[in-house]
Chain A
Amino acid sequence: MKSSYNSHIKRIVLGLLIFAVVGFVAKMVLTPKSFGKYGPYRADAIDEEANQEIRHMTNASCLSCHPYEANIHLTGLHKTISCEFCHGPYADHVKAGKVYGKLPVKKKEEIKVLCLRCHNKAIQARPGEVIKTVIMPEHLEEQKVKVSHTCDQCHHVHAPLKYINRAKKIVGIKEKS
C-alpha cells in the first residue's frame, strides 16, 4: 500500500473510530433489556431474587411443631439462638407444610465442634460476660471428668445449665456472688 507522510495517523484514527463504534454497538446489543430501569443494575434481578425459594424461617416456625423442644429451649440460656444455626435450614426439613427430609443430628465429636464454634476461648472477639468461652480439654480437666467427654454429656444443648443447676440444687451448692 502506498502511504503518505500522515497515512498511519489517519489509519490509527480510523481504527479508534471503528473500535468505538463496534464497542458502542456491542454495548447496545449485550446490555440486558431491563438494565438501567431503576438505576445502574438489571431491574429483572429484583423479581428473580424475590422469587427465590425461601430457605430459612424463624424459631417460631420450628417450635410450632416441636412443643417439647420449645419448652426447654425457651427457658434456657440458648433461647435467643436460632434453631437453624445448629440444625440446618428449614427448607431441607419442611416443604409446602409437609415433612420433606430429616435434618442431620450432630453426635459425639461433631457436638464438640459445633459448641466450640461459639464457645472457644481462641475467639477473642467475644467478651466473657456475653458468652462463656472455654479451652478444651482444660475445661474437662477442671471439671474432673474424662477428657473424652462430649459437651452434651453435662450440658443440655437447648438449655446449657439445665442439668447443672438441677445438680447444684440437689447437692446444695450455692453460687458465689
Chain B
Amino acid sequence: MDALNFVFPNDLHVHWSMMIVLYPYLTGLVDGSFIVAALYYVFGVKSLKPISRFSLVFAFAFLSCAMFPLLMHLGRPERNHNMMITPSPTSAMSGAGFIFTVAIILIGLILLLVYRPTFVKLRLKSKGIMNILYRVLTMDSTNLSPESLELDRKIIKFLVAIGIPVATVLHGYVGFLFGGVKANPSWSTPLMPVIFLFSACVSGISALVLAYIVIKKLRNQPVDLGCVRTCINILAGFFILAFSFEMLEVFSHSYLRTWYHHAVEGLLNGPLFYSFWVWQVGICSVLPLLLLGWLCLFKMKASVFKFFAATVSIILLLQVLLMRWNVVIGGQLMSKSTRGYTQFHPEWFDKEGIITVIVLMSLPFIVLFMLSKIFPLWLEEEKASS
C-alpha cells in the first residue's frame, strides 16, 4: 500500500519511529512492576511476597535504560543519564528530568533498605571486591537489631508510598506529552495520560508474571501459585480499566464527532485497521479478557493455570506494545492535510531500526542479570545459601 490521497511533503516521513514506541513501553514496564512492589510494601498484599523484591530490581533495571530510546532517537544515546541531571522547569520535555531523578533515587533507596538484612549476611560471607561493595551498600552498618529493622520497615513503607505518585506521574507524563500535541487529533485528548497509565500497569504486571514463571521453570524451582493468582487478579482489574478507557476514547471521539474526526476515523478503519481493530482490540484484548475471566473465576489444575497465566501475559505484553505502536506511529500516519495517510516501513539496519530495537530491549535484561549477581532476586535462594 502506498501513501493515500493528498499528503503534505513534510508529513510523508514518520519522524517519531520505533524508538518513541519503545520509550513509553519501557517506562510502562517500570511503572507496572513498581505498582506490584507498592501493593506488597504499602497495602500489605502478603501473597505478593515472593516477587516483591524482584519487582523492585526489575523496575530499577528498566528505569536505568528507559531513556536510551529517546536519546537514541535524538542521535546521542551516550547522553542517556544526562536527562536525569539536567532537568528544567521551563520545558515540558526536560521537566521529565525531575520525575526521572526522583524516581531512580527513590527506587535505589528502597532497594538499599529492602536488601539491607540480605546484604549484611552477604557481606560477612563475601571477600575482596564484593565485600567492599556490600560494605558500601550497607552503609558499613551491620546492625540488624529488631529496632533497626522496624525503622527500616517504616522508612520503606514511607518511600514506597511516595513512590506511588512518582511512578504515576512518571508514566502519566508520557501520556501527557502525547495528549499535549494539539496539532494531532488522534493524540490530543485529556484521556491520553489515563490510557497510558493503565496500560503501563498491565504491561508491568504481565512482564513480572511472565518473568517469574519463566525463570522459575528454567531453574526447576516451584512457582508460588498464590502469588501468581493474586497477580492475575490484579492484572485482570487493571486490564479491564485499560481496555475500557482505550475503547471509551475511540467511542467518545466518534460520538462527539470532534474536530477532524473524519481523519481519525479514516485512520482507524484504513491504515490501522489490522494493527488496531484486528490485533490490538480483537486478538490481544478481547481474547485475553476472556482468558483472564476464566483464570480468575474458575478452578483448574495448577499446571493449566500457570500455562495460561504465562500465555495471557505474553498476549498482554504484545497488546500494550501494539497500543504504543498504534498511538505513536499510527498518529503520525495522518497528514496535516487531513486528506491523506502516509505509511511506515520499519527497516532492519536503520539508526532506529529493528536491530536497534532488539539491542535496546535486551539492555535492561543485561542490567537485570548483572544486578541479580549483587541483589539475590528470590527469597528461597537466600534461605538455601544461608
A interface residue numbers (CB < 8 A to B): 1, 3-9, 11-12, 15-16, 23, 39-40, 123-127
Contacts and interface: CB of A to CB of B under 8 A. Distances in A.
Contacts of A12: 109, 112, 139
A7 B12 contact: no
A124 B109 CA distance: 54
Nearest to A14: B139
B143 A4 contact: yes
A126 B140 CA distance: 69
Interface hub of A4, A5, A8, A123 (most chain B Cβ within 10 A): A8
Nearest to B116: A8
Interface stretch (B24-32, B63-71, B83-91, B203-211): B83-91
A7 B116 CA distance: 13
B12 A9 contact: no
Contacts of B7: 124-125
Contacts of B350: none
Given A12-B109, A125-B11, 15 more contacts: A1-B140, A1-B141, A3-B143, A5-B145, A5-B151, A6-B148, A7-B139, A8-B143, A9-B151, A9-B155, A39-B90, A40-B91, A124-B12, A125-B3, A126-B9
Given A12-B112, A124-B2, A7 B141 contact: yes
Given A12-B112, A124-B3, A3 B141 contact: yes
Interface string B1-45: 011001111011000000000000000000000000000000000
23 contacts: A1-B140, A3-B141, A3-B142, A3-B143, A6-B148, A7-B139, A7-B143, A8-B116, A8-B139, A8-B140, A8-B148, A9-B151, A11-B139, A11-B140, A15-B139, A16-B105, A23-B85, A39-B90, A40-B88, A40-B90, A124-B2, A125-B8, A125-B12
Interface string B143-161: 1010110010001000000
Interface in B97-141: 105, 109, 112, 116, 138-141
Nearest to A1: B140
B188 to A, nearest CB: 24
Contacts of A23: 85
B138 A5 contact: no
Contacts of B2: 124
Contacts of B139: 7-8, 11-12, 15
A125 B335 CA distance: 10
Interface of B: 2-3, 6-9, 11-12, 85, 88, 90-91, 105, 109, 112, 116, 138-143, 145, 147-148, 151, 155
B289 to A, nearest CB: 39
A123 B3 CA distance: 9
A11 B9 contact: no
Contacts of A127: 6
B12 A8 contact: no
B10 to A, nearest CB: 9
Nearest to A125: B9
A5 B12 contact: no
Interface hub of A3, A39, A124 (most chain B Cβ within 10 A): A124
B338 to A, nearest CB: 15
Nearest to B7: A125
Contacts of B138: 8
Nearest first, the 4 A-B pairs at minimum CB distance are: A3-B141, A5-B148, A8-B141, A8-B139
B147 A5 contact: yes
A9 B153 CA distance: 12
A126 B6 CA distance: 8
Contacts of A1: 140-141
A127 B8 CA distance: 10
Contacts of B155: 9
Contacts of B116: 8
Interface hub of B6, B7, B9, B139 (most chain A Cβ within 10 A): B139
Contacts of B8: 125
A154 B112 CA distance: 76
A131 to B, nearest CB: 11
A26 B11 CA distance: 42
B3 A11 contact: no
A45 to B, nearest CB: 16
Contacts of B105: 16
A5 B139 CA distance: 12
Contacts of B88: 40
Contacts of B3: 124-125
A124 B8 CA distance: 9
Contacts of A7: 139, 141, 143
